[in-house]
Structure 1
Amino acid sequence: MQCQAGVIAVAAWLCVAGCDEAVPGDRSQRIAGEDRAEPVGLLAPAWRWIPAALPVPPRIRTRLEQRLGEFAGELARARAAMVTRRAEQVPASEQVVGPPAAFDVEGLAEAINKVVARLERTTDVSVHIRELGSDDVLFDYHGDAPLNPASNHKLLTTAAALDLLGPEFRFETRALRVGSSLYLVGEGDPSLDDLALRGMADEIAGATDVSSLRRLVVDDLAFSPRTLAPGFSDEGVGVAYQAPSGALSLNFNTVEVTVRAPRRRARSKELPRLEVVLRPASTHVVALDLAGVGRGTLAVRTYAGLPVDEQARTVVELTGKLRAGRELTVRRRVVDPGLFTGGALAVMLSERTGQPPLPVERGAAPAVDERAEEPPVVVLRRESQALTQVAGGALAWSNNFMAEQLLRTLGWRMLGEPGDWENGAEVVQAYWAALGLPADALVFENGSGFSQRGRVTTTALVDLISVAASGNSGLLSALPVAGENGTLRARLRRSGKRVRAKTGTMDGISGLSGVITAEDGTPQVAFSILSNVRAGGASAAARRKRAEDAIVTAVLAALDAWALERSPAATAP
């Protein structure tokens, strides 16, 4: 049976794994280019059960080569069509009465240089702006200088996914029953939330006798056992924007922790205890309340607890104090995505049977073979929304988790191996080469751009956007719109929703890359702006963002002035 996904997720959940966050000093030894070992500490293999031998098929490159060959043909046809359209354009001198109009490139350069001058004393700045119809460069300032793009890097990951998997690609999650065992099979869906999982529980309960089940097995073997992206830290309180990745994931692999401090009842000698609510409830997550009611600061962190039945639990530890009558809600990452998702489904099914939650374990689901003595019965198939919508959520809210899921899905789907950062990077770099972009214009570490090592040039980012504008990948329609929900909600509100762009913010790093459209939505200009504060320098993030907005506003003004000059009414005698 088929279960269509509803909404990707509420905005609050989308935002928690965002990349536009401050980056702590990187103390991880895992980011060395040659280091591909499992992460240490919080998510070390010793803290969670992993199958002794994963079913890894032989390395297959044919699928990737075939798709890149098809993509090269699509790209060549799109570029040829673009050249034809440019050749067929009527010269400006024939479109208007009077002398031909020219875009005021010098005036635009003067306006942008004034903005850049306010930053360049402490900051490395790169700006590249190009008119899409003619491919003319309107402005360039160190466009070939590789800088850290922060979340602007998500443009590359998303573009590769849309072009190689297709804008209508959908993630599938299945549930199969074999005897008294229920198997939950994940294929990397980054959009599964607790509301969707509850709907799945209802469908499973309607399709089979849940009370006769004895165990729940999670199959998340489409991805490798590694869960933490290169460049992410395994230390700290378990911040949501560095959540782990897994083929079977839920709520961006974060748990919402709500803590309430009740007031002491009159004449009661007992000290009130904190009320702790974890959402979604999962057999994989337990609360350790070491805090109290009173004046002070409440700290909430997650980490891997001691294994139970060879499986680690995510421990939500509370320390400190919360004042009576107050309430605090935070989100923290979980330890094991697959067991977290399976544990949440076990709780939801138990609510329908009145029985204790099913024990959850990890294993490979049997193949659906009707000739088997006891063939698996598919009791549920859930499809995500189309990739265009999923990508839109990832870009609008700068969701790190979703970007890493896309990267690992590319590795699995294109190379036929469990998705990992190594094979995902191989696919993205092959896609980069297929675009004809220079290898030295990209330093790749992970899919989200939450990295101290990542580098890219603004010229290359504009090339990427230009390719998207010439085709039908859906990247431009997935970009956030200025003034609407997402990281651009409070920016460029006077642009008339003509700016679609991706933001990027980390400590000392800012970026804004996207397009300016005509009133009818036709992309006119592609731009990319990156700024990296130099060591020892200082520049507030708000100041850098104002500079980005000022540059885009200057381009908008120049475009409007150019359009006015070209109009027949403006030039008629």
Structure 2
Amino acid sequence: MINKHFLALAWLGLAGSVAAQPLNPAIDPLAARYSALQGTSWAAAAGYVQNKAPLFSVRPDLRLAPASTLKLLTSAAALDAFGPQHRFQTQLYIDALPDGHGVLNGNLYIRAGGDPTLGSSRVQGSLNAEQLLQRWTQQIRQAGIRKINGDVYADISLFEGPSIPAKVNWQNIGNYFAAPATALAFHDNSFQIHFAPQARPGAWVEVRSTQPQTDGLRLRSFVTVDAGSTKDNAYVYGAPGQYEMEIYGTLPATRFTGYTISAALPDAPQLLTDLFVQTLESHGVDVSGRGMLLEEAPDYEAMRLLYTHFSPPLQDILYIVNKRSFNFYAEMLLRQLAVHAGHKGSVEAGLNELYRFLRRQGISTENVLLYDGSGLSRDNQLTVQTLLELLQVMAQRPDFPSYYYSLATLQDRGDLLLLRRFLAPFKRTQDVHVKGGTLDGVKAQAGYVRDQNGELIAFAFIANNLIAKDEGINRFYEDLLKLLLQQPQK
């Protein structure tokens, strides 16, 4: 016989769980409207920030590939380790003093500090490639040096191990969005490939030039014109250190201007060192030796520091990491987590520090399996509950404004571009800050919205195994966001 008292308790427990998730009954009917979700694995969760009160939770512990919403973890850990105003350093040293004629009978050293922004024009306040080389050369001349009887060394010992995470697929390697992370970065570790104009459908598209120019680089283009497309569908195939690259895919037809794509530099530290030597010589500083890389740090205590170059503040770097979903900066920051903890900057050591950060926040890592810091690998796994808890924790921190304003809004050209035309008529676009994530078969959104009373709500949505390329999944996410924006129900 079934115990009636037990049934009553069970019913009360069920009622309590439903009441704890007041919007859960609305989710499945919404999902049923969208054929894009058929055959997929998806999860969604949302809750208030201040009191952690849940609003809905559907498969919160299902492990899914997060795509670029993983950057929320990496940027949060970087803020925790360094603070929003931290600036990364790159230093110039000499191992002898110049004589009375301006001759340095010794060597010049670049001490790499893992600054992701060297020679980049992406971050406000950063010197671009030409400005950087000019600034460094000016510092050498101001030190009275007119001739270097020695070499220019770049110390890249701060990082170690593979420069690209192990699970990044071959189609991505070689492209700017999978640029290798190096202790000495330059020009976002990428270069531009300029194609000649070509308007004839199906015709081969030739490479016209590259910028910056790299000695020894050989490109073979197998790219053809797709007259029916307006998008870049060309992929560069080449591994780190590989100077022979092949380009496959299609580009739109162009009659006059040509087309430009970006690819990963095969060896950014060597390129920067070589260009520094060339710039020195073009400005009257003769260099008898050449540019070389060091994988073991020399004794800087015995040297003279000439100049320290500072990156823009971390909060400005995070603006690019999250609003522009820039993989390269995220991977550089992952390695910086290891350096901050006293280790060499490797993927493995960086991930260990990322796990430790989560656990310090009281967030379980049982359902977290990561291979990179950017979300580029399809093998990364975490749950919407992990993202939700992280977002709620970050909202309580004093550095939260740097985190919050690094996320995309509907006014940005970044992550929410696809949602802009859906949510804009709702007139509450200023109340949405989101980090998006997209990979083949993956669409994710996570971030914050404000309810009708201005209270902050954190949310996370992930869908895997999507096969349709329509915008149905974005409309589903829009419906979920509207539910949150309309809280509390009046």
TM-score normalized by the length of structure 2: 0.78
- Shift of residue 168, structure 1, vs aligned partner: 2.1
Letter in 1 for 2:338: G
Letter in 1 for 2:450: T
- Shift of residue 127, structure 1, vs aligned partner: 0.8
Letter in 2 for 1:112: I
Name the residue aligned to 1:540. Answer: 469
Please say if residues 261 and 275 of structure 1, whose CA atoms lie closer than 8 Å, have aligned partners that are also in contact. no
Pairing 1:440–2:366 present = yes
Mapped to 1, the partners of 2:31 and 2:316 lie a distance apart of 35
Mapped to 2, the partners of 1:430 and 1:461 lie a distance apart of 15
Name the residue aligned to 1:141. Answer: 58
Pairing 1:345–2:276 present = yes
Letter in 2 for 1:556: L
Q: Secondary structure at the match of 1:551?
A: helix
Q: Secondary structure at the match of 1:175?
A: strand
- Shift of residue 180, structure 1, vs aligned partner: 4.1
Name the residue aligned to 1:281. Answer: 213
Alpha-carbon distance change, 556 to 281 in structure 1, aligned in 2, over 3 angstroms: same
- Shift of residue 444, structure 1, vs aligned partner: 1.5
- Shift of residue 354, structure 1, vs aligned partner: 9.0
Query: What CA deviation, in whole Å up to 9, does each residue of 1:284-331 have, x standing for no partner?
Result: x534567899999997846469xxxxxx56345579999885522111
Query: Residues 472-491 of structure 1 correspond to what in structure 2 (within 5 A)?
Result: 472-473=398-399, 474-490=402-418, 491=420
Mapped to 2, the partners of 1:448 and 1:153 lie a distance apart of 6
Pairing 1:553–2:475 present = no
Q: Where does the alignment leave 5 or more consecutive residues of structure 2 unmatched?
A: 1-18, 96-104, 121-126, 200-204
Alpha-carbon distance change, 104 to 250 in structure 1, aligned in 2, over 3 angstroms: same
Letter in 2 for 1:421: V
Greater Cα offset, 202-211 or 131-140: 202-211
Name the residue aligned to 2:326. Answer: 399
Query: What CA deviation, in whole Å up to 9, does each residue of 1:44-79 have, x standing for no partner?
Result: xxxxxxxxxxxxxxxxxxxxxxxxxxxxxxxxxxxx
Q: Secondary structure at the match of 1:512?
A: strand
Mapped to 2, the partners of 1:117 and 1:206 lie a distance apart of 64
Name the residue aligned to 2:243. Answer: 314
Q: Where does the alignment leave 5 or more consecutive residues of structure 1 unmatched?
A: 1-102, 264-272, 306-311, 566-573
Letter in 2 for 1:411: A
Query: Residues 102-121 of structure 1 correspond to what in structure 2 (within 5 A)?
Result: 106=22, 108-119=23-34, 120-121=37-38
Alpha-carbon distance change, 275 to 159 in structure 1, aligned in 2, over 3 angstroms: closer
- Shift of residue 136, structure 1, vs aligned partner: 1.0
Mapped to 2, the partners of 1:358 and 1:257 lie a distance apart of 30
Mapped to 2, the partners of 1:122 and 1:318 lie a distance apart of 34
Alpha-carbon distance change, 413 to 324 in structure 1, aligned in 2, over 3 angstroms: same
Please say if residues 194 and 258 of structure 2, whose CA atoms lie closer than 8 Å, have aligned partners that are also in contact. yes
Alpha-carbon distance change, 515 to 323 in structure 1, aligned in 2, over 3 angstroms: closer
Q: Secondary structure at the match of 2:283?
A: helix
Name the residue aligned to 2:443. Answer: 510
Greater Cα offset, 249-258 or 550-559: 550-559
Percent sequence identity over aligned pairs: 22
Match of 1:231 among 156, 160, 167: 167
Query: What CA deviation, in whole Å up to 9, does each residue of 1:474-504 have, x standing for no partner?
Result: 3223222232232224433343311111101
Mapped to 2, the partners of 1:357 and 1:233 lie a distance apart of 42
Mapped to 1, the partners of 2:222 and 2:350 lie a distance apart of 42
Q: Secondary structure at the match of 1:486?
A: coil
- Shift of residue 186, structure 1, vs aligned partner: 1.5
Pairing 1:198–2:130 present = yes
- Shift of residue 448, structure 1, vs aligned partner: 0.9
Mapped to 2, the partners of 1:335 and 1:241 lie a distance apart of 14
Match of 2:356 among 405, 414, 430: 430
Higher RCO, Cα 8 Å, sep 6+: 1
Pairing 1:175–2:92 present = yes
Match of 1:380 among 287, 290, 307: 307
Alpha-carbon distance change, 358 to 118 in structure 1, aligned in 2, over 3 angstroms: farther
Query: What CA deviation, in whole Å up to 9, does each residue of 1:443-475 have, x standing for no partner?
Result: 111111112221111112111001101112332
Mapped to 2, the partners of 1:341 and 1:519 lie a distance apart of 52
Please say if residues 154 and 403 of structure 1, whose CA atoms lie closer than 8 Å, have aligned partners that are also in contact. yes
Mapped to 2, the partners of 1:319 and 1:144 lie a distance apart of 39
Count of residues in correspondence between the two structures: 432
Q: Secondary structure at the match of 2:430?
A: coil
Please say if residues 258 and 329 of structure 1, whose CA atoms lie closer than 8 Å, have aligned partners that are also in contact. yes
Pairing 1:125–2:125 present = no
Letter in 2 for 1:532: N
Name the residue aligned to 1:92. Answer: none
TM-score normalized by the length of structure 1: 0.67
Query: Residues 3-42 of structure 1 correspond to what in structure 2 (within 5 A)?
Result: none
Letter in 2 for 1:200: L
Please say if residues 197 and 345 of structure 1, whose CA atoms lie closer than 8 Å, have aligned partners that are also in contact. no
Pairing 1:464–2:390 present = yes
Name the residue aligned to 1:212. Answer: 147
Letter in 2 for 1:498: D
Mapped to 1, the partners of 2:173 and 2:63 lie a distance apart of 32
Name the residue aligned to 1:154. Answer: 71
Query: What CA deviation, in whole Å up to 9, does each residue of 1:82-136 have, x standing for no partner?
Result: xxxxxxxxxxxxxxxxxxxxx9975x44543322224553111211110122211
Letter in 2 for 1:538: I
